[in-house]
Amino acid sequence: MRVLLITKIFPNAVHPDEAPYNRRQFAALSRYCDVRVLATIPWFPGMERLSKWPVAGGAPREEVIDGLQVRHPRTLYVPRVAPALNGPLYAASVLPELARGGPLPDVIIGAFAYPDGFAAVCLGRLLGVPAVIKCHGSDIDVIPRDPRLRGPLSWGLSSATRVVAVSRKLADGVAALGVPRDRIDLIMNGVDAKLFKPRDRGASRAALGRSADARLLLFVGHLNRDKGVLDLVEAFERIAPQHPGLELVLVGSGAEEQACKAAAARLHGRLTVTGYLPHDQVSLWLGACDALVLPSLHEGTPNVVLEALASGRRVVASSVGGIPDILHDAELGELIPPGNKDALADALVRAAGHTYDPARIAELAGGRDWNDSARALHDTLLRAARTGRRWRAGGEEIGDVGPGGPAAKGGGLENGAAHPGA
């Protein structure tokens, strides 16, 4: 089976920390089928002069990421003015890539419902290839609020052969937009089980040069408003004077990084901003912390929460997206209302004083690895591919084996239910 992934949420050499969940899931998928990636980069005239936008020219046109052949076509994008044009412009920008030669894919998957998924459906119709849309979070929770986008978003989802949701809440949102339940598959993300496992807290802190006696809270993610990082900093500043042994570490980079560093200067060593760190360093910080904190305003199924639980660490997080599905037991952590700084401050104090058994947390969380997630996605894509032109014509059966690994036979997911790995 030949799979073409089209998405703007994928790493590149300039932004290596972008969407690590997609990189890992599709790298795992490549063990079972042939995967090509078009990791698009939005572009519009004059974009390079606007510092808040990533510079399109900085990323290579082609690179290999985790064994995946990845091309980075630039897609014409109209910011704010006419967002409904971005789906058609995206499809038109990607089309030349499909004219480069070589066999057609058996199935196209667009990761992010609009404009990526919309474009995948348009291209699939043009080429006679089934299209699948993978939904992540704000594409279902936020985009439908814009009346200019609700129509094209609903059209793309309803026209897709199948739709993948990474949480039950997202699956409900997709159904509310008119997609029949029997075409929605729940496939949650996984973790790297070799990296994210319970570690000795003292040894992890020694490796990082941190105090063995401090109570250490950890945030991992983009330092931006949607992740609630400024709320977290404000809540921490509020409680820090009454809790002298409490420390906060922010791992990541983003638009609010300078504001976070200014707060760190005010707190004289109690708050640390590390910047972007590779995955092996993130796993070490999770081993060192007492709890992970993620006060996001919007989420899909954040992988860092899965990674924290697999590492045996409790979590304080907003009750948004798929997070309540993950924190299904009070023993695993605490859910707080999004944007409520008082509730967040109180939860930080409780998290700092909570004692627990890390092995029990990891066991109760019931971690999934990326291979489970990839096998579930393979089943969905194969099921979609079998509706395609070659299958309907009674010709050559679409193969289950790609150049990267063994056969992955299976009947797929029935009636939108969760795969065992989900």
Q: How confident is the model at residue 53 (pLDDT cuts 50, 70, 90)?
A: very low
> Would strands 74-76 and 41-43 be described as parallel, antiparallel, or unpaired?
parallel
Distance separating alpha carbons of residues 118 and 115, to the nearest angstrom: 5
Report the percent of the chain where pLDDT is more than 90. Answer: 73
pLDDT score for 49: 56
Distance separating alpha carbons of residues 20 and 297, to the nearest angstrom: 20
Of residues 190 and 300, the one with the higher pLDDT is: 190
Mean of the pLDDT values across residues 240-246? 94
pLDDT score for 408: 36
pLDDT score for 411: 34
Q: How confident is the model at residue 79 (pLDDT cuts 50, 70, 90)?
A: confident
pLDDT score for 389: 61
Quote the pTM value. 0.83
Query: Which of 335, 324, 334, 332 is closest to 363 using CA atoms?
Result: 332
> Is 90 exceeded by the pLDDT of residue 201?
yes
Distance separating alpha carbons of residues 260 and 250, to the nearest angstrom: 8
* Chain segment 108-136, per-residue pLDDT in tens: 999 999 999 999 999 999 999 999 999 99
Q: How confident is the model at residue 395 (pLDDT cuts 50, 70, 90)?
A: very low
Q: What is the DSSP string of 32-86?
A: TSEEEEEE-EEE-TTGGG-TTSPPGGGS-SEEEETTEEEE--EEE---SS-GGGH
With 0-12 / 13-18 / 19 or more C-beta atoms within 10 angstroms meaning exposed / middle / buried, residue 28 is buried
Q: Is 9 within 8 Å of 387 (Cβ atoms)?
A: no
Look up tokens 């808040």; give the residue: 52
pLDDT score for 76: 86
> Is 90 exceeded by the pLDDT of residue 300?
no
* Chain segment 253-272, per-residue pLDDT in tens: 999 999 999 999 999 899 99
pLDDT score for 398: 55
With both helix axes pointing from N to C terminus, report the angle between 20-29 and 370-385 in degrees, rounded to the nearest 10.
70
With 0-12 / 13-18 / 19 or more C-beta atoms within 10 angstroms meaning exposed / middle / buried, residue 313 is buried
pLDDT score for 57: 55
Q: Is 272 within 8 Å of 248 (Cβ atoms)?
A: yes
Taking each continuous run of H as one helix and of E as one strand, the counts in the chain are 16, 16
Walk me through the domains of the chain, giving residue ranges and CATH numbers. 2-190+370-392 (3.40.50.2000), 201-365 (3.40.50.2000)
Mean of the pLDDT values across residues 21-41? 95
Of residues 209 and 53, the one with the higher pLDDT is: 209
